A and B are shown apart, each in its own frame.
Chain A
Amino acid sequence: MSSKKITYTEIENKGIGFYGLLGLLGFFLLAGGYAFLAAEHSGHYITGMNNQIVWGLPHIFAIFLIVAASGALNIGSIGTVFGKKIYQPLGRLSGLVAIALLVGGLIILLLDLGRIDHVIEMAKGNLNFKSIFAWNMILYGGFIALVSFYLWTMMARSKLAKRLYKPAGFSAFTWRLMLTTGTGSIFGFLVARQAFDAAILAPLFIILSFAIGLAFFLMLLIFTYKCTQREIGDVLLNKLRYLLGVFILATLLFEVTRHLTNLYATEHHAVESFILGGGNFYSNLFWFGYVVLGALAPLVLIFCRLLKNNRAALLLAAFLTVVGGFSLLYVIIIGGQAFPLVLFPNAEVSSSYFDGVNNSYSANIGEYMLGMAGVAVTLLIVLVGVKVLRFLPTSLADSVIDPHAKK
């Protein structure tokens, strides 16, 4: 591990702040539980989802969290797999946040199913291995197991754990690449949907996971260190800052490539003008939510020299990256469904079942509650985790983590 001795301690907050936060998260959990029970009892007609937009806001929350999960593990991987010592003190937290994000996302997915009681059939062996969904179940389960193992190698004191640290880090890293490929592939292989039939969605999801996972991690890191009055040095934060910048740029590059390749094919012109052409909600969300607010703005905040060492700017950049990632997923997934299926190219179609029309969708309060509950589960796991186990370095000051820090 790191050359200098890093000590990890549990957080000690017992005050009103800690329990207040716990209570707030508990409230979101209860609200989400209520939303689940209501839809489970009445059926999905009480949601804004329908037979045209079959996946709605809960799925955006879920996919966001799942994608962010693999990204959050990156910080640990950079330390372990790529041997960057300065990142190693963050390895434990990185693993914890990764597991927490994945669990939060999966809970939303699960609670939105039409027949959650039938999930037991999958445990009884009803799995279709041609389905990327079935593979994802295994990938998600394996991710939690491998990252837990990785955490053990970082936290246990035995010699065995130390010996297994590198292999564990490597396998967790490999696994997370497969996992995000799997999540991206959910959409990449839907041949009939104009908006989804691109294999580039899988690498796009990977690079997006780097960005939003790191952004989420950064927000958590700065928040917990502020609340517990622990120190983080500028050296580490600036490393993370520029890393985030690179990831945001790379995501933007992949997204631009995706649209350019689509524009090359005549059959995709209609869907591209729907998303890019303006005049509708998805188009506005793409340009303003993702491109301007979610990519360009944080890039300015990150690379503007005047804002170097400015933590408020970094925090805002991370938050905007999260907003941008969420917007992008919303545009891809819901915008992609809003655009009608093409039954007959070069023809206009109409029917009593919304053929040929741009479908509309607005999430209702229950869907927000369910989605927020997933986020609350994530935060709750992290909060309880850092409270009971030694995940957080006591100090991340420059002198502690970087022996060569110029002072």
Chain B
Amino acid sequence: MSNIDAYRRRFLLGAGIASVATVAPGLVLRQVNAKPADEAVTDQKRWGMLIDVDKLPNGGQGVVDACKAEHGWGHEEHSNAEQKTQWVRTVKVTEKLTKHEFKLPVMCQHCETAPCADVCPTGASFKRVDGIVLVNKHICIGCRYCMMACPYKARSLVHEAIFDQKPDTPRGKGTVEACTLCVHKIDAGEQPACVASSNGAIVFGDLKDESSEISKQLKARGGKQIRADLGLNTGVRYQGI
């Protein structure tokens, strides 16, 4: 972020005006209200994402790369492929009978009743009141019970020492991690990195605000959950699956 951007952001925040992000010409303007930095998050909001699979080229490989660049995961030197961290991946699905095929990015679905948070012995896995499921690595003991419980295989244990982390994404050996919904960006009034890189295929916003873009789209077109049968009421929804 350049100095000017930073200055402008501060100015806008200071004046209490919503920062406005334009993604690309012709696309819908999305507004995200930033809260003041000293204000606690509330349950008046629930953050969510709506992913239109048809609009994402190559199953969203681009958003996977954007996530990697933002958080720096997946570069472990010693870990083998099964041990490497993977916050988001693209999954190819082929219906057995019809051979209908589609691809979608799968990451932490930010469940309302998150199984990972239920099973965590220390409470390190928790859901923030605004719906973001996180790991408090300060108290994570690395037992991996959450990984057993997660229906989406969204979580990874860091299998080796990590150096040169991104300042906004602390990551370390022996703790479990997953998509944070770019909580550091959300708190600053910005959009998650994947959303910003998706060319409008992913809509991010407040599911509790009826006038938000995501709520309007969900109401009009619906949004499917992966494993909806589990009743987890996920914060990440899909169209085209």
Contact = CB atoms under 8 A, between A and B. Distances in A.
Is there a contact between chains A and B in the complex with CB atoms less than 8 Å apart?
yes
A353 B89 contact: yes
Nearest to B230: A191
Main secondary structure of the interface of A (DSSP, over half): loop
A121 B94 CA distance: 45
Contacts of B27: none
Interface residues of A, number: 51
Contacts of B86: 51, 352-353
Contact of B97 (A42, A191, A346): A346
A171 interface: no
A190 interface: yes
Contacts of B117: 128, 130
Contacts of A42: 78, 160-161
B92 A351 contact: yes
B30 interface: no
Contacts of B138: 118, 121
Contacts of A83: none
B173 to A, nearest CB: 5
Nearest to A43: B160
B156 to A, nearest CB: 5
B96 A348 contact: yes
Contact of B153 (A118, A126, A130, A355): A355
Given A54-B157, A192-B149, A115 B142 contact: yes
Interface stretch (A64-72, A132-140, A226-234, A242-250): A132-140
A116 B152 CA distance: 26
A341 interface: yes
A46 B80 CA distance: 10
Contacts, number: 179
B94 A347 contact: yes
Instruction: State which size class the interface on B falls in.
Output: 35 or more
B236 to A, nearest CB: 13
Interface string B76-97: 1011101111100111111111
Given A349-B92, A353-B86, A131 B121 contact: yes
Which one of B92, B143, B151, B175 has the highest number of Cβ atoms from chain A below 10 Å of its Cβ?
B143
Interface in A343-384: 343-344, 346-355, 359
B119 interface: yes
Interface string A316-353: 00000000000000000000010001111011111111
B168 interface: no
A349 B93 contact: yes
A341 B121 contact: no
A52 B82 CA distance: 6
B140 interface: yes
A115 B144 CA distance: 11
B17 interface: no
B149 A45 contact: no
A113 interface: yes
Interface of A: 42-46, 50-55, 113-116, 118-119, 121-122, 126-128, 130-134, 137, 186, 189-193, 196, 337, 341-344, 346-355, 359
Given A128-B120, A353-B153, 5 more contacts: A114-B144, A116-B142, A127-B121, A133-B120, A134-B121
Interface of B: 76, 78-80, 82-86, 89-97, 106, 115, 117-124, 138-145, 147-153, 155-161, 173-176, 226-227, 230
30 contacts: A43-B78, A43-B159, A44-B160, A44-B174, A45-B78, A114-B158, A114-B173, A114-B174, A114-B176, A116-B142, A118-B139, A126-B122, A126-B139, A128-B118, A133-B143, A133-B145, A189-B119, A190-B115, A190-B148, A191-B230, A192-B227, A341-B151, A341-B152, A342-B227, A343-B106, A343-B227, A344-B226, A348-B94, A351-B90, A352-B89
Q: Which 8 A-B pairs have the closest CB atoms?
A: A114-B142, A114-B174, A192-B151, A133-B121, A50-B82, A43-B160, A45-B159, A128-B123
